[in-house]
Amino acid sequence: MIEMFKIKFNRDELFNLCIDTLLAEINRLREEVRRADNWKRKARFLRELRMYITALADLLEKMPEAESEDELIQLIRKLPEKVATRIQVAIRDPR
């Protein structure tokens, strides 16, 4: 069990929460790219989409290797700010 923000949770649950949050954001951005009405907007959303895909790839690569609680927390802090914030909110207020 890992304690973050005074809440204990399972390592696998944390891993799944991170992946689910990143995938939700990726899907949202894919839809924004599809609906974008000009190339500048498409390019902006595609750059953001690339950032989230890269973050997901990094997480999938490094999460299994993280052995300590501190390493896991550092991985979460390296995620894009919007995703890290959503994960923190989900940890504090699980529904």
Largest CA distance in the chain: 47
Q: Which two tokens stand for residue 41?
A: 């907007």
Is residue 7 assigned to a domain?
Answer: no
Is residue 2 assigned to a domain?
Answer: no
Q: Which two tokens stand for residue 53?
A: 């895909």
Give residue 77's domain range.
12-92
Is residue 4 assigned to a domain?
Answer: no
Is residue 72 assigned to a domain?
Answer: yes
Give pLDDT tens digits for 20-75. 999 999 999 999 999 999 999 999 999 999 999 999 999 888 887 777 777 877 88
- Predicted structure pTM score: 0.79
Closest CA relative to residue 23, chosen from 60, 50, 52, 62: 52
Is residue 42 assigned to a domain?
Answer: yes
Burial of 31-63, coded b for 16+ CB within 10 Å and e otherwise, reads ebbeeeeeeeeeeebbebbeebeebbeebeeeb
